[in-house]
């Protein structure tokens, strides 16, 4: 609905007439913009960053930090940093109170 196409590889298996593209966004740009072109190296680099971000999101979920809901690299990075700081504060506080530092909540007194 927002016209957003991720930098993701194109899968030609789901069609009888596959396109000659590597990423889905290439077709969208050809369809809607006449004077815009993308370098393949830029798309490859962007996809590599996307993969790193997805791995980071998965690691945050595995650590109990929840989903990163911010949009944009700077906002997401800030949200993850603040969440990690909060986890350190909780761990230190639990340790000082004699509780398990791995707990995700503070011990209520």
Q: 14-61, pLDDT tens digit by residue?
A: 788 888 888 778 877 777 777 777 787 888 887 777 777 777 677 677
Q: How confident is the model at residue 83 (pLDDT cuts 50, 70, 90)?
A: confident
Beta bridge partners of 9: 23
Rounded Cα gap, residues 55 and 52, in angstroms: 5
Sequence-separated contacts (24+) of 55-62 with Cβ below 8 Å = 56/80
Say if residue 94's pLDDT is above 60: yes
Q: How confident is the model at residue 1 (pLDDT cuts 50, 70, 90)?
A: low
Structure confidence at residue 28 (pLDDT): 76
Q: CA 32 → CA 28, 36, 68, distances in Å?
A: 6, 9, 31
Structure confidence at residue 107 (pLDDT): 61
Structure pTM? 0.44
Rounded Cα gap, residues 50 and 55, in angstroms: 9
Q: How confident is the model at residue 109 (pLDDT cuts 50, 70, 90)?
A: low
């Amino acid at each position: 609905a927002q016209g957003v196409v991720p930098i993701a590889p194109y899968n030609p298996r789901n069609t009888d007439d596959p396109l000659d593209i590597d990423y889905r966004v290439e077709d969208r740009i050809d369809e809607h913009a006449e004077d815009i072109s993308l370098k393949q190296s830029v798309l490859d680099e962007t996809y590599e960053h996307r993969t790193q971000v997805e791995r980071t999101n998965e690691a945050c979920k595995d650590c109990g930090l929840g989903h990163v809901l911010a949009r944009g690299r700077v906002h997401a990075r800030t949200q993850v940093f603040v969440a990690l700081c909060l986890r350190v504060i909780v761990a230190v506080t639990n340790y000082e109170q004699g509780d398990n530092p791995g707990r995700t909540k503070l011990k209520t007194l």
